[in-house]
Amino acid sequence: MFKKEIREVFWQGLFLLSAACAVPAILMLTRIVSGFSYFQVFFPMFQFGLFFWAFLMGASLVLPDRSQNALLYLLTLPYSRLKLLWLKTLPRFSGALVFFAGFAALYALGGGDLEVISFSAFTLIYWVMFFISLSLSACSDNFLVLFIVCLFSLVLFWILVFWLVRTAHQIQGYILYEVDIRPFFTGESDTAWVYFIGVTAALLVLPLVISFVLSFRKLDIRPVAAFNRRFFTLLGPLFLVGILAFMLITVPAAKTGYRSFYLTQDLRLIEAHEYAGIKVHEGNRVHKISTYDYYFSRAFELSAVELQKALYYETNRGIARIGLDDYEREVVYTSPPGRDVFSWTLCHYAGALVFVTRKSDYTAPRLELLETESGEVRVIPLDDVKLFNLNNQRLFGAGNSDGQRFFLMAHWAPRRTRIRVLRVWEDGRIESIAESEKMPCYADHRLLIYSDGQILVQQEKDGGYETVRTIPNPKRYAFGLGYYYASDLSHPPSRELYGRRTTPGLEPSKSQEFARLDLQSYTIEELEPDLDRLQYVSGDGYYCVQGEIAEGSFNDLEVYRLEGGKLTLLKAFSQLRPSPGRTLQIFPAGFLIQSGNKIEIYAFPDLRRLEFKKLR
Amino acid sequence: MFLFNIDFASPLPLYRQLIHLIKLEIISGRLNSGDQLPPIRELAKLLKLNPNTVAKAYYTLESEGFTESRRGSGNWVSRKEVQLDSLRRSMVEDEWRIFLEKVLKLGATARDIRALMERDLTDDQDHS
Amino acid sequence: MIKTIVDVQGVRVKIGKKTIVDDVSLRLGRGEAILIAGPNGSGKSTFLKCLAGVILPDRGKVIYPNGTTAKKIRFISDQLSLFENFSVRQAMNFHKRIFGLKQMEYGVFAEAGMDESRKIRHLSTGERTLLNLSLALSQQPDVLLIDEVIHVIDPYLREKFLEAVIDLMDRCLTTVILVNHTFSEVEKIPERVLVMADGRFIVDEQAEELGMRLKKVVSESEISPEIPFIFSQPAGPFIEYFVYPFGPEMSDRFPYEFQAVDLNQIIKAFIGGQYVQKRNP
């Protein structure tokens, strides 16, 4: 009997395949569809036809026999009903699997570009359709009725799934995108989201299948109403169990999803969830920032600028602001059509946000100033600056002169070995001040330029810059204010700079030789090669974080205070429990270690642990 | 050979009817002593009877001495001539009684019966 | 002591709101031949299907205490369609394999001169029934359930059918349960007669006894109220009374002639009585 079932499935499959191959051919031959290759017409139709195949494989389990009276005969055979079920299900499941595999193969061979919906969405819908049709296959003796019911159930099913998923997140206190379903279909949602939906779907499909199997054990030739009564009586409670299981298993998992953080100067923690909203944790309280329309970036903290009781950060279309006193979010700047903000260049100076924008094709760069008080935007065209890629320019300083603000920009063309220092005035003037071998530095109103094994200390005089000191730098150390200080262009006075030894070329090497530059005596002092990574994170000094952080996870971490060339160990995190994806984020006010879902936050300068009770 | 009319509606149980019919066959000479009776299965199929009915009949015939069963080969008419006569007599007796009952119910008198007998039955009948 | 081959315990079957088989208990022995008769819609077919395992009762059980498995139960019905796409030969081979039979009986089938290569789809109901019978006979079942197929076949093949069944009864001691509407040809086969009405058995007697306990009286006027009858109907200027239960002393006590009736009339009387009861509850 197994062979008979397989044979039937085989013929059905052959029929579908020929129809799937013939219809596009006919369409093309009759010129109803033209201008596409055969595969381009075939693939989407095939994908669509596969849903029907999934339905057929499921529904043909019982339906044909019922309508052909073969059910009576089947039940007189010496098989238990469960055995019958098995003999019938296995070929059909295999049939569904074979065609699915075929589709996957075609997808890999180029269908991926032609798909109507994403592969993961297709997979889930296909198999859900199969199992729904299977479970309902004994509920009617009319093919058309069953088809309509299954389609209807499929739609209802997915509505329920999405509703449950949304509710689960709402229970966890999250707000979702207005249109959160579309990414699932277009393939833009990430794996975690797909898994979430997949698990929910599975938990809801299981009751259907279980009810069917249990009811099948009592299947006989009485009219479908008898079967249906039993089936739906079982389905009700099982479905509730499924939803309960969903509540217990998946709802707690709703807190997964990427989270970005920012620690403010007054030690409040801003938590931006991937597909939920933004929260501000303050001690034991949490303020939710209600917004349906926000852009989530995984590098949230990289572009964030804290300024005057607000946090500014880049969105995909502009700049948004989170008020830290009113907990309101608003978009303060939107790129005009055709233009983008150059990522991660958000800086600030004297109450204004300073950033670079350009057209989508990287031409027509502009320096823009957004006054946070008034909301006014001043635009300074940078036509002289050819921006070829993101790393091509950097704002590294700003100042006031002659009643005007100016901004210092380091810029380099790809093949040039020297960096041009530009001074961009508020009124639109652009001056080329100097050329440096390495990234220049602006500290204490003094410009440090690297040239020929020397550091030139330049100061403004009569509208230009003049070298006032020369520091011999035979070992070619490159000094800077640290990675995390880049956004605040108004650097407070500093007594010292730290730097690494470099090789000829623009970027510092991975050399382990460090030195200190005293900004009062202008002397270079070489240091013990203990430092792995140098971070300057707070206005009150340098902090040094050491650990093998680069690989995306780390098990040891040491935080030092660096002052006067001396390292003082503040805190050591040793033998952290191994965790994949442990990350370290450093803010001006402190730093944050994220191990999976566990968050630890420490504040500068004493590295005391911060507790946010509402943070999960 | 066996074209019996066994009647469900008859007051006689089926197997009794069959016994009666087989006895008739024996008496009439169509079944001789030493002949084999049809196998139970065949007779049942022929007469559309339950095999048990036929078996019962055969069993009773055997217990009355008219047949004997031989292991493995079926049932055979017994060779004892003596019983044939007494069988004949008892069967005639049975038929006579049935006849009388019927005819008396119709209101016939003994004289009517005697008259009919004299009209239709002569001594010549003995030779037929 | 006849072994019980089927033990039906309190079986109840409902279809929708209607109770088709109502709390039926029954015991059938090995080698018994049983006839089940009754008005249309009394639940006979459904009951038979319960015995076959094709319908699972809502309540109660059908037990085969002798260990009879599905392989040894055969159900023949005119609804039994087999696999329509199969040819006769394929169906035979399939059956042979599934039931683990050593050989197939073509007897009845060959008798009808049927072509093995024909598809089942193209067979008439009568031909299908014969095929079913061949399959059943090949199976040599312990229990044979026959659901109203006798009249579907032509009279010639009908006889062959019955002969085949009798053969089976003798050879394998098969328990045969026959559901039928007409009895003239089959009346001598069953030893036990059951009449089903409204999902219950109102009669369960040995066939012979039934013949002796049900008699007909034809009378010009109403008969004595002391005589129990289950049914009466006008017959020309007379009235037929079906007396049940009849006792031999009645012939002496009452002046009527108590006639014997065949099975057809017996069943008709019971059925008629049921319809009358329905009309005048």
Whether C124 and C147 share a structural domain? yes
**Chains C and A contact (Cβ–Cβ under 8 Å for 3 or more pairs):** yes
* B14, B41, B46 ranked by CB distance to C208: nearest: B14
Residue A506 has pLDDT above 70, yes or no: no
Which of these, A525, A456, A447, A461, lies nearest to A491 by C-alpha position?
A447
Which of these, A349, A279, A286, A272, lies nearest to A314 by C-alpha position?
A272
pLDDT band at A579 (very low <50, low <70, confident <90, very high): low
Which is more confidently placed, A110 or B14?
B14
- Using a pLDDT cut of 70, give the percent of chain A over it: 80
> In sequence order, what E strands does A97-169 have?
none
Helix (H), strand (E) at residue A582: strand A582-586
C-alpha A536: how far from chain center: 27
Helix (H), strand (E) at residue A89: helix A81-108
Torsion of CA B59, B63, B67, B70, to 10 degrees: 70
Whether C247 and C189 share a structural domain? no
Whether C38 and C100 share a structural domain? yes
Which of these, A614, A595, A598, A586, lies nearest to A262 by C-alpha position?
A586
Q: Examine the fold and report which residue of C207, C235, C252 is the final residue of a domain before the chain moves on.
A: C207
Q: Which chains touch B (3 or more CB pairs under 8 A)?
A: C
* A1, A69, A72 ranked by CB distance to C98: nearest: A1
> Min CA distance, C45 vs chain A (Å)?
12
Please tell me which of A28-37, A283-292, B12-21, C60-69 the model is most confident about, judged by mean pLDDT: B12-21
pLDDT at A140: 86
Neighbours of A320 (CB within 10 A): 21
Which of these, A476, A100, A484, lies nearest to A263 by C-alpha position?
A484
DSSP A177-227: -TT-SHHHHHT-S-HHHHHHHHHHHHHHHHHHHHHHHHHHTT--SS-HHHH
Whether C234 and C130 share a structural domain? no
pLDDT band at A499 (very low <50, low <70, confident <90, very high): confident
Helix (H), strand (E) at residue A86: helix A81-108
> In sequence order, what E strands does A220-345 have?
259-263, 269-273, 278-282, 285-289, 305-306, 310-314, 318-323, 329-334, 339-341
Which of these, C61, C78, C100, lies nearest to C145 by C-alpha position?
C78
Residue A12 has pLDDT above 80, yes or no: yes
Interface of B with C (CB under 8 A): 6-11, 13-14, 40-41, 44-53
Residue A90 has pLDDT above 90, yes or no: yes
Q: Examine the fold and report which residue of C159, C180, C207 is the final residue of a domain before the chain moves on.
A: C207
Mean pLDDT for the stretch of residues A249-265: 74
Q: Which chains touch C (3 or more CB pairs under 8 A)?
A: A, B
**Nearest 5°: phi and psi at A298?**
-70, -20
Mean pLDDT computed over every residue of chain A: 80
Residue B122 has pLDDT above 90, yes or no: no
Reported as a single tens digit per residue, the pLDDT across C64-91 is 887 767 778 888 887 777 777 888 888 8
Q: Which of C21, C85, C121, C139 to mutate to test the interface with A (most CBs of A within 10 A)?
A: C85
Q: Where are the domains of chain A?
A: 2-256, 541-616
Inter-residue contact B40 to B54 (CB < 8 Å): yes
Whether C183 and C218 share a structural domain? no
Pairwise CA distance, residues B120 & B117, whole Å: 5
Reported as a single tens digit per residue, the pLDDT across C217-260 is 998 888 888 888 888 888 888 889 999 888 888 888 888 888 88
Residue C115 has pLDDT above 80, yes or no: no
Whether C185 and C217 share a structural domain? no
Question: Tokens at residue A363, please?
Answer: 């031409």
> Min CA distance, C52 vs chain A (Å)?
7
Pairwise CA distance, residues A61 & A213, whole Å: 12
The three state secondary structure string of C94-141 is: HHHHHHCCCCCCCHHHHHCCCCCCCEHHHCCHHHHHHHHHHHHHHHCC
Task: Count CA atoms within 13 Å of residue A403 on its CB side.
Answer: 0
Whether C159 and C112 share a structural domain? yes
Mean pLDDT for the stretch of residues A528-532: 61
Pairwise CA distance, residues C75 & A25, whole Å: 50
Strand order in the sheet with A404-411: A393-401, A404-411, A419-425, A430-436
Whether C161 and C258 share a structural domain? no
Question: Tokens at residue A507, please?
Answer: 């970027």
Inter-residue contact A383 to A364 (CB < 8 Å): yes
Whether C126 and C237 share a structural domain? no
Answer whether C55 touches A (CB < 8 Å): yes
pLDDT at C16: 81
Dihedral sign for Cα C122, C126, C127, C133, please: positive
Which of these, A222, A64, A54, A212, lies nearest to A143 by C-alpha position?
A64
Helical pair C125-139 and C155-172, crossing angle rounded to 10 deg:
10
pLDDT at A213: 93
> Min CA distance, C86 vs chain B (Å)?
32
Helical pair A81-108 and A38-59, crossing angle rounded to 10 deg:
170
C278: helix, coil or strand?
Answer: helix
CA separation, residue B56 to residues A152, A519, B40, C193 (Å): 67, 131, 10, 19
Q: Examine the fold and report which residue of C190, C207, C224 is the final residue of a domain before the chain moves on.
A: C207
ipTM score of complex: 0.86
Whether C152 and C39 share a structural domain? yes
Pairwise CA distance, residues A252 & C191, whole Å: 71
C7: helix, coil or strand?
Answer: strand
Q: Which of C172, C185, C189 to mutate to test the interface with B (most CBs of B within 10 A)?
A: C189
The residues near A463 (Cβ < 8 Å, ≥ 6 apart) are A401, A402
Pairwise CA distance, residues A304 & A295, whole Å: 13
- Partner residues linked to A592 by β-bridges: A585, A601
Residue A156 has pLDDT above 90, yes or no: yes
Residue A63 has pLDDT above 50, yes or no: yes
pLDDT at A183: 65
> Min CA distance, C111 vs chain A (Å)?
24
Pairwise CA distance, residues A453 & A438, whole Å: 11
**A605: cis peptide before it, omega within 30°?**
yes
Reported as a single tens digit per residue, the pLDDT across B22-76 is 888 888 878 888 888 888 988 898 888 999 999 999 999 888 888 888 877 788 8
Contacts of C269 in chain B (CB under 8 A): none
pLDDT band at A182 (very low <50, low <70, confident <90, very high): low
Which is more confidently placed, A158 or A595?
A158
Q: Do C70 and A78 touch (CB under 8 A)?
A: yes
Reported as a single tens digit per residue, the pLDDT across A136-145 is 998 888 889 9
pLDDT at A187: 67
Whether C113 and C227 share a structural domain? no
CA separation, residue A600 to residues A266, A271, A614, B48, C74 (Å): 17, 13, 13, 95, 74
pTM, two decimal places: 0.68
**Chains C and B contact (Cβ–Cβ under 8 Å for 3 or more pairs):** yes
Structural domain count, chain C: 2
Which of these, A228, A203, A205, A204, lies nearest to A216 by C-alpha position?
A228
Inter-residue contact C21 to C177 (CB < 8 Å): no
pLDDT band at A498 (very low <50, low <70, confident <90, very high): confident
Which of these, A597, A598, A581, lies nearest to A254 by C-alpha position?
A597
Contacts of A84 in chain C (CB under 8 A): none
Question: Tokens at residue A191, please?
Answer: 């794996």
Mean pLDDT for the stretch of residues B99-112: 87
**Nearest 5°: phi and psi at A452?**
50, 50
Contacts of C70 in chain A (CB under 8 A): 76-79
Which is more confidently placed, C170 or A514?
C170
Which is more confidently placed, A580 or A250?
A250
Which CATH number belongs to the domain containing residue C99 in this structure?
3.40.50.300
Answer whether C87 touches A (CB < 8 Å): no
Beta C33-37 vs C175-179: how paired, if at all?
parallel
A19: helix, coil or strand?
Answer: helix
Question: Tokens at residue A387, please?
Answer: 């921006």
pLDDT band at A254 (very low <50, low <70, confident <90, very high): low
Inter-residue contact A470 to A490 (CB < 8 Å): no
Residue A105 has pLDDT above 50, yes or no: yes
Domain with C221, as residue range(s), is 212-279
Mean pLDDT for the stretch of residues A347-357: 87
Torsion of CA C126, C127, C132, C138, to 10 degrees: 130
pLDDT band at A179 (very low <50, low <70, confident <90, very high): very low
Pairwise CA distance, residues A194 & A315, whole Å: 24
pLDDT at A336: 85
Whether C24 and C127 share a structural domain? yes
**Which residue's entry shows tokens 């006008």?**
C234
Question: Tokens at residue C121, please?
Answer: 């789809």
Contacts of A220 in chain C (CB under 8 A): 49, 54-56
Mean pLDDT computed over every residue of chain C: 85
Q: Which of B6, B48, B98, B102 to mutate to test the interface with C (most CBs of C within 10 A)?
A: B48
Residue A355 DSSP label: E
Residue A558 has pLDDT above 60, yes or no: yes
Pairwise CA distance, residues A128 & C103, whole Å: 45
Beta A598-603 vs A590-595: how paired, if at all?
antiparallel
CA separation, residue A517 to residues A444, A449, A561 (Å): 13, 13, 17
